[in-house]
Amino acid sequence: MSRLRNSFSLLVLYVLIAPLDGFAAGYAPVSTSGEIGSILPLWAALPFAGILLSIALMPLAAPRFWHRHFPEVAAFWALVFAVPFVYFFREVAVHEIAHIIVIDYIPFILLLWALFTVAGGIYIKGTLRGTPAVNTIILLIGTALASVIGTTGASMLLIRPILRSNAWRVHKAHTIVFFIFLISNIGGALTPLGDPPLFLGFLHGVPFFWTLHILPEMAFASSVLLVLYFVADTYYFKKEIPAAVSEIEPTPLKIEGSRNFIFLAGIIAAVLFSGTVKLGEVDIFGIHQTIENLIRDGLLIIMGLLSLSLTSSETRKRNEFGWAPILEVAYLFAGIFITIIPALAILKAGERGELAWLIKLVNTPAHYFWAVGSLSSFLDNAPTYLTFFNSALGKFYRGMPEAEAVARLIVEKIPYLAAISAGAVFMGANTYIGNAPNFMVKSIAEEAGVKMPSFFGYMFKYSIPILVVLFFIMTYVFFK
């Protein structure tokens, strides 16, 4: 079996390298990423498509294989791209790979790790009576918290309390679905801490509080969904067994590991610091990184380590804390960030690249909202955001340095960036695979005995009739 796998790997590498050899022979050596984007063929992004399709389909088609070997799958696609890329473009290719690792991947995964670690040290003990009013209030609180401690942090903080509060109920799958809609996705729209796509935008120069521009969209979507949830939960609540309803008594709430709120504040302060203070740059393997960003990353590590050392193991055990979810994200996103390089380079080239047709096709804020959102539903919203963020820069400010282009984008093209941001964050809720917390919440709920809808059941029973209809309405209200 291993020989077959190795032969297949070599075949894929040959298929990619052979045409690239002839392609590269017709061009002089390049020295900048802009030149790479203007000459790379579109099929150079096939490994990027491959890893995203693997993430989308393999958990459904081969769940046992995926669970055991997803790190190898991510590494395979990364190598399929990186080997021929480095072979033909040499120093420029090495620089591009190092750049995306140092500037994008490491800060991205450190923020997720810090939020996951600190939130996992907060245990909400006790239960409330899972009535429609109580559940709606929990969803409202979680939606607000998601922009402060991240969709991952808020989801991990509140999923078990809401499961305990509703453990006695027969009808509860809809509660978890709306939990995914609001807390795992839409609630994270207001700050770079809220959702990974917005943090990537922040890393590329979008100011920390710029995302408050989409407060009207977020408030509208959240309000509609909370009202719909309350109506639906009231309907299901009336179907519960009367004896079960009357016998359930709430127990007092108590928070263990409350010092982790201090560490959460430290994470927020670190991100704010990196976005407001300018201390110069340092050279890391030929990559210019700002000193304030290095300080931020150091503080994130410190907050996570303090949480691990000062939170009792019993508290984390009661919270069912484990490293598997964040390790899966780390492995998969390492592959995603490597393979996304050609797509980003081609998009940055604007109308000089092979995606000129896409840039010409996506013109209005509504186009960006649905293009970003549709891909975010089935692939992953972080790289999708980054792809169309670069597409907008290439379309409106082709050839301009990124810092200057972003500075103009956030002032001159507010509706466009708002549409990109909202599409990436909101439509990640359309499927289980649209955002990292979605599958985590589903898995935890199923471990607690909740019969969650299947992949397509989730779409056809909930997201299409509720979210897609809502997003069509929002298109005409906000993104004409």
**CA 228, CA 223: separation in Å to the nearest integer?**
9
| pTM of the predicted structure, to 2 decimals | 0.77
Domain positions in the chain are 42-478
Question: What are the pLDDT digits (tens) for 229-244?
Answer: 999 999 999 887 765 5
pLDDT confidence tier of residue 309, bands split at 50, 70 and 90: very high
CA-closest candidate to residue 108, choices 408, 336, 410: 336
- Per-residue pLDDT for 330 more than 80? yes
> What's the pLDDT at 249?
67
pLDDT confidence tier of residue 365, bands split at 50, 70 and 90: very high
Distance between alpha carbon 182 and the CA centroid of its chain, in Å?
A: 14
Length of the chain: 480
Instruction: State what percent of residues in the chain have pLDDT above 70.
Output: 90
pLDDT confidence tier of residue 473, bands split at 50, 70 and 90: very high
Burial 219-235 (b: 16+ CB within 10 A, else e): eebbeebbeebbebbee
DSSP codes of every residue in 94-129: HHHHHHHIIIIIHHHHHHHHHHHHHHTT-EEEEE--
Average pLDDT over residues 289-313: 93
pLDDT confidence tier of residue 437, bands split at 50, 70 and 90: confident
Question: What are the pLDDT digits (tens) for 344-359?
Answer: 788 777 667 787 777 7
**CA 240, CA 146: separation in Å to the nearest integer?**
30
Q: Which residue has the tokens 């209809």?
A: 469
Joined tokens for residue 237: 């609540």
- Per-residue pLDDT for 250 more than 70? no
> What's the pLDDT at 262?
94
pLDDT confidence tier of residue 177, bands split at 50, 70 and 90: very high
